Amino acid sequence: MRPAEPMTTTIYVCTTCRAPDDPSPERAGQRLYAHLTQTAESQGSDVQIVGVECLSVCKRPCTIAFSAAGKWTYIYGDFPADTGAETILAGAALYEAAADGLIPWKSRPDALKKGVVARLPPLFGSAPSPESVAEKDVAL
């Protein structure tokens, strides 16, 4: 699947994540990717779901990221392969609703509080400068 058009929310999913002690022949990341695409379709969600061969966060499977043009990009880990899809899609809806991608702390599901791996300011866009956005973000 191609990366999304500007302003559409993209969920990147690491398809090479391995879960510890997982006997399944299919990698955990691949299973999460399948669950996400199926669940998004059943919900009629307009998010773009893009499988990526390794997001390089191998110690915290499963790993995903939210991104959209002009918004902060967030990378999250620690999602269970077989039950994480609905939590991720609910988080993506909150991300899509946030003009700058910064979900207010009180609204963040626990998985997005504890699971954060890293974030990046809006890339190559016309969004506010990183500095001006960061000062408003009380939930770093």
- Residues between 75 and 104 that touch a copy of itself (CB under 8 A): 75
Does 124 sit near a copy of itself (CB under 8 A)? yes
∠ CA 92-93-94, nearest 5°, is 90
38-to-12, 54, 95, 123 alpha-carbon distances in Å: 15, 21, 20, 29
CA dihedral 121, 134, 56, 35 (to 10 degrees): -90
- Give strand pairing partners of 13: 51, 64
20 by DSSP, 3-state: which? coil
The alpha-helical segments, DSSP class H, found in 16-137 are 28-43, 85-97, 110-114, 130-136
Q: Nearest approach, Cβ of 86 to a copy of itself (angstroms)?
A: 23
The stretch among 19-27, 33-41, 103-111, 116-124 that binds a copy of itself (CB under 8 A) is 116-124
Single out the residue of 6, 20, 23, 25 in contact with a copy of itself (rule: CB under 8 A).
6
Distance between CA atoms of 76 and 62, rounded to whole angstroms?
8
Does 130 sit near a copy of itself (CB under 8 A)? yes
The stretch among 1-9, 17-25, 30-38, 88-96 that binds a copy of itself (CB under 8 A) is 1-9
Q: Nearest approach, Cβ of 22 to a copy of itself (angstroms)?
A: 19
| Tokens 């695409």, located at residue | 37
Does 51 sit near a copy of itself (CB under 8 A)? yes
Single out the residue of 11, 12, 27, 28 in contact with a copy of itself (rule: CB under 8 A).
12
Write out the residues near a copy of itself by the rule CB under 8 A: 1-6, 10, 12, 16, 50-57, 63, 65, 67, 69, 73-75, 116-125, 129-131, 134-135, 137, 140
